[in-house]
Chains A and B, each alone.
Chain A
């Protein structure tokens, strides 16, 4: 049996009256790149810290390869952590930092040296061995932190926003590298971030968290294409949210938007008043008067130039505002304020969500807060 299988069962963490983690059940199979994504305060870091052993769960179990380890102290757990601010030992050289943990494993001196050298090569810091950590750049420090954790060859690696302090360019490079290392070593990665791009590009599966609970957990594509709630829809990419009434019809449902009845391929948990979602890139603008299913007339209210695309905001005939991404590829027409258009909301991409409209409104407000962070 391969190692690194993590199971969380009914995990709860309270700080006094504050509930930080509110009942999490998860199974992360061996070798998966699993990401916990959410705004600050959603409980993702607390969950990670409980897996590492820095916090004790109020309730619930943490199983590593079937063995509960919620009462094992951190230094005896076979998991290692990469910290957000690296937490390097500034009184040691890079090589001493990397070799730190090997002292507490039954490893001969020669083997230890060899492993330190190998892991430093893997994260491309071979030349930095004798440097002091204060002489390193942010990206280099991040590599040292990674090497220090990887050298112990634990079956599970926990990463707490490891790229959070780096600039955008470096972050992209390191994302690719982290993914490469994870695939090469076949180690279970549990990655915590509030950056949706990181979550989407690296992960095998993503759990979107909110208020100490998992809102939705799935593969990135499914999460993005088929969010269940407005919170998930907004947190991953941008979304147009429309208040609608849904009626079951065949394999999908009918979506009633003001005076218009649209088709959706999605099947909500329950019919009735709800929220429909469509991504701006799926909103197609057609010449005024085009006929067909799922077309709503509207008028261009604002056009924002975004570089590779334009953000066209269209007021629909029922009063709702919808954003459409129009690519600047030379083929698409250019829109101006006041243009009359027909908006095509394709049935395949129009999705009725599970939550109720007022709940959805709350989520949008939450999201506005986190977007500013």
Chain B
């Protein structure tokens, strides 16, 4: 074929004029590489700065000022583990995330299986509605829930229950996306095969479907955790007082009042939790689907990543 001489021509041309030129389609896309790196550094810079300030020696949140861990563990009452308000916020955030995980995952799995099976009238709209929370502006969603819990569902009212319901509602869509991706990979044949071999319907689900969905379930659990612990708008609207404040809410409130590097320390911890959950989701999914064809796993993780940017 003719590719070999073309490549040769490309290398000789590159040797002659190493600089980028629009007329040379074989040159490396240096400009694009450069722009990409600038973007990556730019997007990391504020985060890195915020993390750096968490390790400050002094009280300033605007200047870099020495090194210490005192805003994490210090004995003064302003550190993360010294200030009861920050600790309560952390406990509450973890409680919400834990409950959202436990509720949204099974519900999302059931919804995904249902949507996957449902053929015929109504299945199209149902598919769209199930994924609507992915694109609904979070503020609109939160205001709507707020109205719901203060009027129609005032028996529940604002507070932890409302917050959990809110988190479950929006994170379920992510579970549906992840689990359905896996359902497509697994295919309907294995269920038919199991039934064919004599397994009654419940046994098909228990012994074949759920084990095959396990990687998606594990990934879902961790994504829900990451989404919930990260959430500000829904938690804020559905909070009923200081005892239902989450970490993001506390950070936001204190940043306006009496900012101290302890807020950065708390934010750093949050970032750590979220990153850990995402990395764990990826690793667990990869581990559980090892030996399978690669494409599907990457696609599913890609869909998780793009969804996680909300």
Chain A residues engaging chain B, CB cutoff 8 angstroms: 52-54, 73-76, 79-81, 83, 85, 87-91, 100-101, 103-105, 132, 134-135, 148-149, 152
Contact = CB atoms under 8 A, between A and B. Distances in A.
B291 A104 contact: no
Interface in B138-188: 187
Contacts of A148: 193, 197
A101 B197 contact: yes
B195 interface: yes
B208 to A, nearest CB: 6
Query: Which 8 A-B pairs give the minimum distances between C-beta atoms?
Result: A101-B197, A104-B198, A134-B291, A87-B189, A87-B193, A91-B211, A74-B195, A75-B195
A105 B199 CA distance: 10
A104 B198 CA distance: 6
Contacts of A135: 291
B193 A81 contact: yes
A53 B208 CA distance: 19
Of listed B198, B199, B201, residue having the most chain A CB within 10 A: B198
Contact of A52 (B196, B207, B212, B291): B196
B66 interface: no
B203 interface: yes
Contact of B200 (A104, A105, A149): A104
A300 B214 CA distance: 66
Contacts of B187: 85, 87
B192 interface: yes
Contact of B197 (A54, A134, A152): A152
A105 B192 contact: no
A90 B292 CA distance: 9
Given A89-B208, A90-B292, A91-B212, A75 B199 contact: yes
Contacts of A80: 196-197
A149 B194 CA distance: 10
A76 B208 CA distance: 18
A100 B194 CA distance: 8
Contacts, number: 73
Contacts of A73: 195
Q: Size class of B's contact patch? A: 20 to 34
A134 to B, nearest CB: 4
Given A85-B189, A87-B189, A87-B192, A149 B214 contact: no
B190 interface: yes
Interface in B185-242: 187, 189-190, 192-201, 203, 207-208, 211-212, 214
Contact of A81 (B196, B200, B292): B196
A304 B212 CA distance: 53
Interface SS majority for chain A: mixed
Contacts of B192: 52, 54, 74, 81, 83, 87
18 contacts: A52-B196, A73-B195, A74-B192, A75-B195, A75-B196, A75-B197, A79-B196, A80-B197, A81-B192, A81-B193, A87-B192, A89-B190, A89-B194, A91-B211, A91-B212, A100-B199, A101-B199, A134-B291
Given A91-B214, A134-B292, A135-B291, A104 B193 contact: no
A152 B198 contact: yes
A87 B197 CA distance: 12
Contacts of A74: 192, 195-196
Nearest to A80: B196
Interface string B266-309: 00000000000000000000000001100000000000000000
A148 B208 CA distance: 15
Contact of A83 (B193, B199, B201): B193
A75 B198 contact: yes
Contacts of B212: 89-91
A179 B207 CA distance: 32
Contacts of A134: 291-292
Given A74-B195, A74-B196, A149-B197, A83 B189 contact: yes
A88 B194 CA distance: 9
B130 to A, nearest CB: 25
B203 A104 contact: yes
Contacts of A54: 192, 195-196
Nearest to A99: B197
Contacts of A76: 198
A89 B187 CA distance: 11
Contacts of B291: 90, 132, 134-135
Nearest to B213: A91
Nearest to B189: A87
A149 B197 CA distance: 7
Contacts of B203: 104
Contacts of A104: 197-200, 203
B206 to A, nearest CB: 12
B190 A75 contact: no
A101 B189 contact: no
B185 to A, nearest CB: 10
B160 to A, nearest CB: 37
A89 B211 CA distance: 9
